[in-house]
Amino acid sequence: MARGVYIHIPFCHQICNYCDFNKFYFKNQPVDEYIEALDKEMELATKKYPESFKQIETIFLGGGTPTALSPQQLVKLLELIRTYIPMSSVTEFTSEANPDELSEAKMRALFDGGVNRLSMGVQSFDQELLKKIGRTHSNKHVYETIALAKKVGFRNISLDLMYGLPGQTMAQWKDTLEKAFALDLPHFSAYSLIVEPKTIFYNQYTKGKLHLPTEDLEADMYDVLMNQMEAHGLQQYEISNFAQAGFSSKHNKIYWENDEYAGFGAGAHGYLAGVRYSNHGPLKKYMETVNAGELPIVYEHVVTENEKREEQMFLGLRKIEGITHTIYEEKFKESMHVRYRHVIENLVSEGLLEDDPKGIRLTRKGRFVGNEVFQQFLLED
């Protein structure tokens, strides 16, 4: 049974230099027709998997940029979501947002439509860095939009921040954190830049034109991040996420706990009935398929038992609380130490993992090399 629903809105008024998500420049795109196609996809999926949608806990609008839509388009989108998803069990409804796109009309459309959490892509408070990464907002946009969101009624607001950006200094990173904390918000996500293929930054990188901070400086930025979040009363609950008590992301926890969720929209991914799947990315192919009465799935994979174990380990270890022995044993009817004893013992001896009667978790040292730790839990079929 699915716990969450992800809905992809692949339209942007500006394409960021680091973004590798499925997205399209907004101008001249069939946005209204896309919303109608989403309606048809959700109808098809809820009919095929009726049991999976009875107790949805979270909904997440991602992109692209959901707030690229007009107020009227947002109203229509939120109405169709309520048509197919029983809202009585939904406790968290998030929309991603850009600070320079959230007019009061859009904000009220979201709030009145059931959205109770905003995830805002701020990335930096340094205007020159923002230009380098392709962002169009200013600090003034951020301050005004957050004040407006609070006026409309939003209390659960999260900011996305980035470090390890081209040419970024420690002084710039500390200044961004200082300005972020001054906003007195309950949640922050902070990610190091990853240069992904098919992005503007990747093209610059392959030509030797992208000058990134050293690995040591990036690690120091992460260390400052963790220290400053703790000093400002925000608990780290996942490698890249920090929150006041009661404000951790319920939707993202579904991913980290390796539970099922539905993905709707062009290029969306989902995990239903033991099958991971992805949708057609191109708009034309996506819309043609659903308009023909078929789910727009381009790839499906039945997850094997070993893969479920692997995913449980490398997703669960992203959480600061780690993986409890009880939950693992309930899912797989065996102890973690049956398959992973030597791996766990080696990582504990290296100071990267803690192991106690409650469960296993990354140490602070382990958080700096999380991906290297996760790879140790891959099994051979």
pLDDT digits (tens, 9 = 90+) for 72-103: 999 999 999 999 999 999 999 999 999 999 99
What DSSP letter does each residue of 126-172 carry, written as one string?
Answer: -HHHHHHHT----HHHHHHHHHHHHHHT--EEEEEEEES-TT--HHH
Examine the domain organization and report whether 194 and 88 are in the same domain.
Answer: yes
Burial of 249: CB neighbours in 10 Å, binned 0-12, 13-18, 19+: buried
Full-model pTM: 0.95
Q: Which of 20-34, 99-113, 307-321 is predicted with the least confidence, judged by mean pLDDT? A: 20-34
90: domain CATH number is 3.20.20.70
Residue 271 neighbours by CB under 8 Å, 6+ apart = 260, 261, 263, 277, 303
Please write the tens of the pLDDT for every residue from 308-345: 999 999 999 999 999 999 999 999 999 999 999 999 99
Mean pLDDT score, 345-355: 98
Examine the domain organization and report whether 9 and 141 are in the same domain.
Answer: yes
Examine the domain organization and report whether 356 and 246 are in the same domain.
Answer: no
Examine the domain organization and report whether 370 and 246 are in the same domain.
Answer: no
Confidence of residue 380 (pLDDT cuts 50, 70, 90): low
- Domain membership of residue 275 (yes or no) is no
370: domain CATH number is 1.10.10.920
pLDDT at 16: 79
- Domain membership of residue 206 (yes or no) is yes
- Domain membership of residue 176 (yes or no) is yes
Domain stops at, among 221, 237, 256:
256
Please write the tens of the pLDDT for every residue from 276-307: 999 999 999 999 999 999 999 999 999 999 99
Domain stops at, among 220, 235, 256:
256
Examine the domain organization and report whether 343 and 229 are in the same domain.
Answer: no
Please write the tens of the pLDDT for every residue from 152-192: 999 999 999 999 999 999 999 999 999 999 999 999 999 99
Examine the domain organization and report whether 326 and 214 are in the same domain.
Answer: no
Examine the domain organization and report whether 320 and 199 are in the same domain.
Answer: no
- Domain membership of residue 277 (yes or no) is no
Examine the domain organization and report whether 187 and 333 are in the same domain.
Answer: no
Please write the tens of the pLDDT for every residue from 194-212: 888 888 888 887 888 888 9
- Domain membership of residue 271 (yes or no) is no
The reply to whether omega before 233 is within 30° of 0 (cis) is no
pLDDT at 207: 87
pLDDT at 219: 97
Domain stops at, among 256, 290, 314:
256
pLDDT at 20: 67
Please write the tens of the pLDDT for every residue from 238-284: 999 999 999 999 999 999 999 999 999 999 999 999 999 999 999 99
Provide the H-helix boundaries in the chain: 31-48, 71-84, 104-112, 127-133, 139-152, 170-181, 200-206, 215-231, 250-256, 283-291, 305-316, 325-332, 336-349, 364-367, 370-375
- The structural domain count of the chain equals 2
Mean pLDDT score of the chain: 94
Examine the domain organization and report whether 55 and 121 are in the same domain.
Answer: yes
Examine the domain organization and report whether 355 and 222 are in the same domain.
Answer: no
- CA angle, 274 as apex, 270 and 275 as ends, to 5°? 50
- Domain membership of residue 368 (yes or no) is yes
Examine the domain organization and report whether 39 and 141 are in the same domain.
Answer: yes
Examine the domain organization and report whether 218 and 347 are in the same domain.
Answer: no
Q: Which domain holds residue 316?
A: 305-375
- Domain membership of residue 295 (yes or no) is no
Residue 146 has pLDDT above 70, yes or no: yes
- Domain membership of residue 223 (yes or no) is yes
